């Protein structure tokens, strides 16, 4: 893509910035790497838990972030909590998107162990 393109580009950094030591929330950074403002950003939250049947990745919720200006970034967090079978999460994944995004290949991020078996 050349710099003359004025579409919206969006990036979720590949790993959370950190895991909050008190709440266990995973904090992610999202950046508009495009040259124009985005629309509202839809965020899908997924959490990973261990179970007797192996790892389970569950939908945790969704929320919408406001418009993000060109070159601006924001943070958002995912609080996974305890699974219905009483175990703590071992990872999280964030999937985000907005209307008219030119490149959706970088619109997700996950914690280190989310993809582990």
Domain ranges of the chain: 10-98
State which CATH number among 3.40.50.300, 3.20.110.10, 3.40.630.10, 2.60.40.10 fits the domain covering 10-98: 2.60.40.10
Q: How many Cβ atoms sit within 10 Å of the Cβ of residue 41?
A: 23
Which letter does DSSP use for residue 35 in this model? S
pLDDT, averaged across the chain: 82
- Summarised one tens digit per residue, pLDDT across range 54-87 is 899 999 999 999 999 989 999 898 999 888 899 8
Residue 64 CB partners (closer than 8 Å, separation 6+): 40, 41, 42, 43
Report the pLDDT value the prediction gives residue 116, as an integer from 0 to 100. Answer: 64
Report the pLDDT value the prediction gives residue 14, as an integer from 0 to 100. Answer: 56
Report the pLDDT value the prediction gives residue 9, as an integer from 0 to 100. Answer: 52
CA distance 41 to 46: 16
The pTM for the full model equals 0.80
């Amino acid at each position: 893509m050349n710099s003359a393109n004025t579409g919206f580009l969006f990036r979720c950094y590949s790993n959370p910035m950190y895991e909050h030591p008190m709440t266990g929330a995973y904090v992610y950074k999202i950046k508009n790497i495009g040259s124009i403002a985005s629309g509202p950003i839809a965020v899908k939250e997924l959490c990973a838990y261990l179970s007797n049947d192996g790892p389970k990745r569950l939908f945790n919720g969704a929320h919408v972030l406001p418009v993000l200006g060109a070159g601006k970034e924001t943070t958002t967090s995912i609080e996974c909590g305890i699974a219905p079978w009483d175990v703590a999460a071992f990872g999280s994944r964030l999937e985000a998107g907005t209307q008219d995004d030119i490149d959706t290949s970088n619109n997700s991020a996950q914690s280190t162990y989310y993809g582990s078996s």
